[in-house]
Chains A and B, each alone.
Chain A
Protein backbone atom coordinates (compact mmCIF):
# COMPACT_ATOMS: atom_id res chain seq x y z
CA UNK A 1 0.00 0.00 0.00
CA UNK A 2 1.03 3.60 -0.71
CA UNK A 3 2.95 4.77 2.39
CA UNK A 4 1.15 8.13 2.54
CA UNK A 5 -2.17 6.38 2.30
CA UNK A 6 -1.19 4.17 5.19
CA UNK A 7 -0.20 7.24 7.22
CA UNK A 8 -3.53 8.88 6.43
CA UNK A 9 -5.41 5.78 7.58
CA UNK A 10 -3.47 5.96 10.84
CA UNK A 11 -4.41 9.65 11.20
CA UNK A 12 -8.02 8.59 10.68
CA UNK A 13 -7.61 6.07 13.51
CA UNK A 14 -6.36 8.80 15.83
CA UNK A 15 -2.59 8.65 15.48
CA UNK A 16 -1.36 12.23 15.69
CA UNK A 17 2.26 11.17 15.08
CA UNK A 18 1.24 10.07 11.58
CA UNK A 19 -0.18 13.51 10.92
CA UNK A 20 3.16 14.97 11.99
CA UNK A 21 4.84 12.67 9.50
CA UNK A 22 2.54 13.82 6.70
CA UNK A 23 3.28 17.42 7.67
CA UNK A 24 7.01 16.69 7.52
CA UNK A 25 6.69 15.04 4.11
CA UNK A 26 4.44 17.59 2.45
CA UNK A 27 5.30 20.94 4.03
CA UNK A 28 7.80 21.84 1.31
CA UNK A 29 5.83 20.40 -1.65
CA UNK A 30 2.58 22.09 -0.57
CA UNK A 31 4.11 25.48 0.16
CA UNK A 32 6.01 25.26 -3.13
CA UNK A 33 2.81 24.35 -4.96
CA UNK A 34 0.94 27.39 -3.66
CA UNK A 35 3.91 29.68 -4.21
CA UNK A 36 4.09 28.50 -7.80
CA UNK A 37 0.38 28.95 -8.30
CA UNK A 38 0.17 32.39 -6.66
CA UNK A 39 2.41 35.39 -6.53
CA UNK A 40 1.86 36.25 -2.89
CA UNK A 41 4.20 34.18 -0.63
CA UNK A 42 2.27 35.02 2.56
CA UNK A 43 -1.02 33.92 1.00
CA UNK A 44 0.68 30.78 -0.29
CA UNK A 45 1.68 29.80 3.24
CA UNK A 46 -1.77 30.57 4.59
CA UNK A 47 -3.31 28.32 1.96
CA UNK A 48 -0.81 25.53 2.63
CA UNK A 49 -1.74 25.75 6.30
CA UNK A 50 -5.43 25.64 5.37
CA UNK A 51 -4.82 22.58 3.19
CA UNK A 52 -3.25 20.71 6.12
CA UNK A 53 -6.12 21.77 8.34
CA UNK A 54 -8.65 20.44 5.81
CA UNK A 55 -6.80 17.15 5.57
CA UNK A 56 -6.94 16.84 9.35
CA UNK A 57 -10.59 17.82 9.61
CA UNK A 58 -11.58 15.40 6.85
CA UNK A 59 -9.67 12.48 8.39
CA UNK A 60 -12.79 10.68 9.60
CA UNK A 61 -14.33 10.80 6.13
CA UNK A 62 -11.13 9.80 4.32
CA UNK A 63 -11.58 6.84 1.97
CA UNK A 64 -8.48 5.28 0.39
CA UNK A 65 -10.03 5.03 -3.08
CA UNK A 66 -7.35 7.18 -4.75
CA UNK A 67 -3.71 7.93 -4.14
CA UNK A 68 -3.10 10.23 -1.20
CA UNK A 69 -1.39 12.85 -3.36
CA UNK A 70 -4.40 12.99 -5.70
CA UNK A 71 -6.64 13.77 -2.74
CA UNK A 72 -4.15 16.22 -1.19
CA UNK A 73 -3.60 18.18 -4.40
CA UNK A 74 -7.29 18.24 -5.20
CA UNK A 75 -7.81 20.03 -1.88
CA UNK A 76 -4.85 22.31 -2.60
CA UNK A 77 -5.96 23.06 -6.15
CA UNK A 78 -9.46 24.01 -5.04
CA UNK A 79 -7.99 26.35 -2.44
CA UNK A 80 -5.62 27.92 -4.97
CA UNK A 81 -8.35 28.42 -7.57
CA UNK A 82 -10.68 29.98 -5.01
CA UNK A 83 -7.92 32.35 -3.93
CA UNK A 84 -7.19 33.32 -7.54
CA UNK A 85 -10.90 33.93 -8.23
CA UNK A 86 -11.38 35.89 -5.00
CA UNK A 87 -8.54 38.17 -5.98
CA UNK A 88 -10.08 38.73 -9.38
CA UNK A 89 -13.37 39.67 -7.79
CA UNK A 90 -11.58 42.24 -5.66
CA UNK A 91 -9.67 43.65 -8.60
CA UNK A 92 -11.29 42.67 -11.90
CA UNK A 93 -8.88 44.81 -13.87
CA UNK A 94 -6.03 42.56 -12.77
CA UNK A 95 -7.59 39.46 -14.35
CA UNK A 96 -6.76 38.55 -17.89
CA UNK A 97 -8.57 35.28 -18.39
CA UNK A 98 -11.68 34.73 -20.42
CA UNK A 99 -14.75 33.02 -18.97
CA UNK A 100 -13.60 29.54 -20.07
CA UNK A 101 -10.46 29.84 -17.96
CA UNK A 102 -8.13 30.50 -20.87
CA UNK A 103 -5.78 33.41 -20.46
CA UNK A 104 -4.13 35.65 -22.91
CA UNK A 105 -0.35 35.52 -22.81
CA UNK A 106 -0.09 38.47 -20.51
CA UNK A 107 1.48 38.65 -17.09
CA UNK A 108 -1.01 38.67 -14.22
CA UNK A 109 0.62 41.73 -12.68
CA UNK A 110 3.41 44.12 -13.55
CA UNK A 111 6.13 41.81 -14.83
CA UNK A 112 9.10 43.82 -13.59
CA UNK A 113 10.78 42.18 -10.63
CA UNK A 114 11.35 44.29 -7.55
CA UNK A 115 14.81 44.60 -6.02
CA UNK A 116 13.60 42.44 -3.14
CA UNK A 117 12.43 39.70 -5.50
CA UNK A 118 15.73 39.75 -7.32
CA UNK A 119 17.57 39.38 -4.04
CA UNK A 120 15.55 36.27 -3.28
CA UNK A 121 15.70 34.62 -6.67
CA UNK A 122 17.88 35.03 -9.71
CA UNK A 123 16.63 36.86 -12.75
CA UNK A 124 16.43 33.58 -14.64
CA UNK A 125 14.22 31.96 -12.03
CA UNK A 126 12.12 35.08 -11.94
CA UNK A 127 11.54 34.80 -15.72
CA UNK A 128 10.58 31.14 -15.41
CA UNK A 129 8.17 31.91 -12.58
CA UNK A 130 6.66 34.76 -14.54
CA UNK A 131 6.19 32.58 -17.62
CA UNK A 132 4.46 29.82 -15.65
CA UNK A 133 2.25 32.19 -13.68
CA UNK A 134 1.10 33.84 -16.90
CA UNK A 135 -0.31 30.52 -18.17
CA UNK A 136 -4.08 29.96 -18.10
CA UNK A 137 -5.25 28.31 -14.86
CA UNK A 138 -5.61 24.74 -16.12
CA UNK A 139 -2.35 24.80 -18.05
CA UNK A 140 -0.57 26.25 -15.04
CA UNK A 141 -2.01 23.54 -12.78
CA UNK A 142 -1.07 20.79 -15.25
CA UNK A 143 2.52 22.00 -15.60
CA UNK A 144 3.07 22.59 -11.89
CA UNK A 145 1.50 19.31 -10.79
CA UNK A 146 3.37 17.25 -13.36
CA UNK A 147 6.70 19.01 -13.54
CA UNK A 148 7.18 20.03 -9.92
CA UNK A 149 4.84 17.93 -7.80
CA UNK A 150 5.52 14.79 -9.86
CA UNK A 151 1.91 13.74 -10.34
CA UNK A 152 1.12 11.61 -13.39
CA UNK A 153 -1.40 12.57 -16.07
CA UNK A 154 -4.03 10.25 -14.61
CA UNK A 155 -3.86 11.99 -11.24
CA UNK A 156 -3.99 15.44 -12.85
CA UNK A 157 -7.00 14.35 -14.92
CA UNK A 158 -8.81 13.34 -11.73
CA UNK A 159 -7.96 16.63 -10.02
CA UNK A 160 -9.10 18.75 -12.95
CA UNK A 161 -12.06 16.53 -13.77
CA UNK A 162 -10.97 16.06 -17.41
CA UNK A 163 -9.72 13.15 -19.52
CA UNK A 164 -6.07 12.10 -19.68
CA UNK A 165 -5.87 13.16 -23.33
CA UNK A 166 -7.20 16.60 -22.34
CA UNK A 167 -4.38 16.85 -19.78
CA UNK A 168 -1.82 15.94 -22.45
CA UNK A 169 -3.27 18.63 -24.67
CA UNK A 170 -3.13 21.20 -21.83
CA UNK A 171 0.45 20.24 -21.21
CA UNK A 172 1.37 20.62 -24.87
CA UNK A 173 -0.26 24.07 -25.14
CA UNK A 174 1.47 25.15 -21.95
CA UNK A 175 4.86 24.13 -23.33
CA UNK A 176 4.13 25.95 -26.59
CA UNK A 177 3.51 29.15 -24.59
CA UNK A 178 6.52 28.58 -22.38
CA UNK A 179 8.72 28.01 -25.41
CA UNK A 180 7.76 31.46 -26.71
CA UNK A 181 7.98 33.23 -23.38
CA UNK A 182 11.29 31.69 -22.41
CA UNK A 183 12.87 32.21 -25.79
CA UNK A 184 15.56 34.61 -24.48
CA UNK A 185 16.73 31.93 -22.08
CA UNK A 186 16.44 29.12 -24.63
CA UNK A 187 18.41 31.03 -27.24
CA UNK A 188 21.18 31.42 -24.76
CA UNK A 189 20.86 35.15 -24.14
CA UNK A 190 20.48 34.79 -20.41
CA UNK A 191 21.69 31.25 -19.93
Chain B
Protein backbone atom coordinates (compact mmCIF):
# COMPACT_ATOMS: atom_id res chain seq x y z
CA UNK B 1 0.00 0.00 0.00
CA UNK B 2 1.32 3.43 -0.93
CA UNK B 3 1.95 6.15 1.63
CA UNK B 4 -0.88 8.31 0.30
CA UNK B 5 -3.32 5.46 0.70
CA UNK B 6 -2.09 4.78 4.20
CA UNK B 7 -2.62 8.43 5.05
CA UNK B 8 -6.19 8.08 3.80
CA UNK B 9 -6.59 5.00 5.94
CA UNK B 10 -5.30 6.95 8.92
CA UNK B 11 -7.75 9.75 8.11
CA UNK B 12 -10.53 7.17 8.07
CA UNK B 13 -9.49 5.77 11.46
CA UNK B 14 -9.34 9.31 12.89
CA UNK B 15 -12.62 10.32 11.24
CA UNK B 16 -10.95 13.13 9.35
CA UNK B 17 -12.25 12.33 5.88
CA UNK B 18 -14.96 14.01 3.86
CA UNK B 19 -18.13 11.86 3.62
CA UNK B 20 -17.42 10.85 0.00
CA UNK B 21 -13.84 9.72 0.80
CA UNK B 22 -14.99 7.97 3.93
CA UNK B 23 -17.54 6.00 1.92
CA UNK B 24 -14.86 4.96 -0.57
CA UNK B 25 -12.45 3.75 2.12
CA UNK B 26 -15.20 1.87 3.94
CA UNK B 27 -16.10 0.07 0.72
CA UNK B 28 -12.45 -0.83 0.20
CA UNK B 29 -12.03 -2.14 3.75
CA UNK B 30 -14.86 -4.59 3.27
CA UNK B 31 -12.82 -6.43 0.67
CA UNK B 32 -9.27 -5.85 2.00
CA UNK B 33 -8.29 -7.51 5.29
CA UNK B 34 -4.76 -5.93 5.23
CA UNK B 35 -6.12 -2.39 5.14
CA UNK B 36 -8.75 -3.32 7.68
CA UNK B 37 -6.04 -4.52 10.03
CA UNK B 38 -4.01 -1.34 9.44
CA UNK B 39 -6.98 0.90 10.18
CA UNK B 40 -7.67 -1.14 13.29
CA UNK B 41 -4.05 -0.67 14.40
CA UNK B 42 -4.34 3.14 14.18
CA UNK B 43 -7.41 2.93 16.40
CA UNK B 44 -5.52 0.74 18.86
CA UNK B 45 -2.68 3.29 19.01
CA UNK B 46 -5.29 5.93 19.80
CA UNK B 47 -6.79 3.85 22.60
CA UNK B 48 -3.35 2.99 23.95
CA UNK B 49 -2.33 6.65 24.20
CA UNK B 50 -5.30 7.29 26.46
CA UNK B 51 -3.65 5.23 29.19
CA UNK B 52 -1.26 8.12 29.82
CA UNK B 53 -3.66 10.05 32.03
CA UNK B 54 -3.30 13.71 33.11
CA UNK B 55 -0.61 14.39 35.67
CA UNK B 56 -1.38 16.26 38.87
CA UNK B 57 0.97 19.10 39.83
CA UNK B 58 2.81 18.94 43.15
CA UNK B 59 0.90 20.27 46.21
CA UNK B 60 2.95 23.48 46.28
CA UNK B 61 2.28 24.35 42.64
CA UNK B 62 -0.65 26.76 43.08
CA UNK B 63 1.12 28.61 45.88
CA UNK B 64 4.23 28.98 43.70
CA UNK B 65 2.18 30.40 40.84
CA UNK B 66 0.54 32.92 43.17
CA UNK B 67 3.93 33.92 44.58
CA UNK B 68 5.30 34.37 41.08
CA UNK B 69 2.32 36.40 39.94
CA UNK B 70 1.95 38.69 42.96
CA UNK B 71 5.06 40.84 42.55
CA UNK B 72 4.00 41.72 39.03
CA UNK B 73 0.49 42.69 40.01
CA UNK B 74 -1.54 42.56 43.14
CA UNK B 75 1.04 43.15 45.86
CA UNK B 76 3.73 45.08 43.99
CA UNK B 77 1.70 48.23 44.23
CA UNK B 78 1.07 47.74 47.93
CA UNK B 79 -2.70 47.92 47.92
CA UNK B 80 -3.05 45.85 44.81
CA UNK B 81 -4.91 48.71 43.18
CA UNK B 82 -2.40 50.22 40.85
CA UNK B 83 -1.57 47.13 38.87
CA UNK B 84 -4.72 47.68 36.90
CA UNK B 85 -5.64 50.55 34.63
CA UNK B 86 -8.31 52.93 35.85
CA UNK B 87 -7.15 53.06 39.48
CA UNK B 88 -3.84 54.86 38.98
CA UNK B 89 -5.45 58.16 39.90
CA UNK B 90 -5.47 56.99 43.51
CA UNK B 91 -1.69 56.88 43.76
CA UNK B 92 -1.07 60.62 44.39
CA UNK B 93 -3.83 60.73 47.01
CA UNK B 94 -2.36 57.73 48.78
CA UNK B 95 1.11 59.27 48.70
CA UNK B 96 -0.21 62.45 50.30
CA UNK B 97 -1.98 60.49 53.02
CA UNK B 98 1.16 58.46 53.71
CA UNK B 99 3.34 61.56 53.99
CA UNK B 100 0.90 63.20 56.40
CA UNK B 101 0.65 60.03 58.48
CA UNK B 102 4.45 59.71 58.60
CA UNK B 103 4.80 63.37 59.65
CA UNK B 104 2.25 63.02 62.42
CA UNK B 105 3.85 59.77 63.59
CA UNK B 106 7.28 61.41 63.82
CA UNK B 107 5.86 64.34 65.75
CA UNK B 108 4.16 61.96 68.10
CA UNK B 109 7.34 59.95 68.72
CA UNK B 110 9.44 63.10 69.30
CA UNK B 111 6.87 64.54 71.63
CA UNK B 112 6.67 61.30 73.61
CA UNK B 113 10.48 61.07 73.84
CA UNK B 114 10.77 64.60 75.21
CA UNK B 115 7.96 63.96 77.66
CA UNK B 116 9.90 60.96 78.97
CA UNK B 117 13.16 62.99 79.23
CA UNK B 118 11.78 66.01 81.00
CA UNK B 119 10.94 64.40 84.39
CA UNK B 120 14.38 62.79 84.45
CA UNK B 121 16.04 66.17 83.90
CA UNK B 122 13.79 67.72 86.49
CA UNK B 123 14.68 65.13 89.09
CA UNK B 124 18.43 65.59 88.54
CA UNK B 125 18.15 69.36 89.13
CA UNK B 126 17.68 70.82 92.58
CA UNK B 127 14.03 71.63 92.90
CA UNK B 128 13.09 75.23 93.56
CA UNK B 129 11.07 75.18 96.75
CA UNK B 130 8.29 77.52 95.63
CA UNK B 131 8.19 76.84 91.85
CA UNK B 132 6.04 73.85 90.89
CA UNK B 133 7.54 71.90 87.94
CA UNK B 134 5.76 72.65 84.63
CA UNK B 135 4.83 69.94 82.13
CA UNK B 136 7.71 69.34 79.67
CA UNK B 137 5.83 70.58 76.59
CA UNK B 138 5.12 73.85 78.19
CA UNK B 139 8.81 74.34 78.97
CA UNK B 140 9.75 74.37 75.29
CA UNK B 141 9.93 77.80 73.67
CA UNK B 142 8.57 78.51 70.16
CA UNK B 143 12.09 78.79 68.71
CA UNK B 144 13.08 75.40 70.07
CA UNK B 145 10.03 73.77 68.51
CA UNK B 146 10.83 75.18 65.07
CA UNK B 147 14.35 73.70 65.35
CA UNK B 148 12.81 70.36 66.17
CA UNK B 149 10.72 70.38 62.99
CA UNK B 150 13.71 71.38 60.93
CA UNK B 151 15.66 68.40 62.24
CA UNK B 152 13.04 65.78 61.53
CA UNK B 153 14.96 62.90 59.99
CA UNK B 154 12.05 61.83 57.78
CA UNK B 155 12.13 65.13 55.90
CA UNK B 156 15.91 65.15 55.71
CA UNK B 157 15.74 61.78 54.01
CA UNK B 158 13.22 62.97 51.47
CA UNK B 159 15.28 61.53 48.61
CA UNK B 160 15.30 58.17 50.28
CA UNK B 161 11.53 58.33 50.61
CA UNK B 162 11.21 59.27 46.97
CA UNK B 163 12.88 55.98 46.05
CA UNK B 164 9.92 54.06 47.44
CA UNK B 165 7.73 52.57 44.73
CA UNK B 166 4.63 54.46 45.76
CA UNK B 167 6.43 57.77 46.14
CA UNK B 168 8.34 57.53 42.91
CA UNK B 169 5.97 59.93 41.21
CA UNK B 170 7.07 62.77 43.49
CA UNK B 171 9.73 65.16 42.13
CA UNK B 172 13.19 64.28 43.43
CA UNK B 173 15.17 66.55 45.77
CA UNK B 174 13.10 69.68 45.25
CA UNK B 175 11.57 70.07 48.69
CA UNK B 176 14.52 69.07 50.80
CA UNK B 177 14.54 70.88 54.13
CA UNK B 178 17.83 72.48 55.00
CA UNK B 179 19.06 72.60 58.54
* Choice from B7, B42, B58, B87 contacting A169 with Cβ under 8 Å: B7
Assess the B55–A32 pair: CB atoms within 8 A: yes
| A116, B7: Cα distance in complex, Å | 39
Does B74 have its Cβ within 8 Å of any Cβ on chain A? yes
Assess the A53–B86 pair: CB atoms within 8 A: no
| A27, B56: Cα distance in complex, Å | 8
Does B109 have its Cβ within 8 Å of any Cβ on chain A? no
| A168, B1: Cα distance in complex, Å | 19
| Apart from A28-B55, A52-B68: 6 A-B pairs, beta carbons within 8 A | A14-B85, A27-B57, A49-B68, A125-B51, A172-B7, A176-B6
Which residues of A pack against B, CB within 8 Å?
13-14, 16, 19, 23, 27-29, 31-32, 35-36, 45, 48-50, 52-53, 56-57, 60, 124-125, 128-129, 132, 143, 147-148, 168-169, 171-172, 175-176, 178-179, 182, 185-186
Assess the B69–A128 pair: CB atoms within 8 A: no
Of the listed stretches B27-35, B59-67, B112-120, B132-140, chain A binds B59-67
Check A186/B45 contact, CB under 8 A, given A13-B84, A53-B72.
yes
| A65 CB to nearest chain B CB (Å) | 20
* Choice from A14, A29, A57, A175 contacting B72 with Cβ under 8 Å: A57
Does B146 have its Cβ within 8 Å of any Cβ on chain A? no
Check A179/B45 contact, CB under 8 A, given A168-B11, A169-B7.
yes
Does B73 have its Cβ within 8 Å of any Cβ on chain A? yes
Does B49 have its Cβ within 8 Å of any Cβ on chain A? yes
| B82 CB to nearest chain A CB (Å) | 10
Q: What residues on A are CB-neighbors of B158 within 8 Å?
A: none
Q: Which residue of B lies closest to A120 (CB)?
A: B55
Does B149 have its Cβ within 8 Å of any Cβ on chain A? no
Assess the A14–B87 pair: CB atoms within 8 A: yes
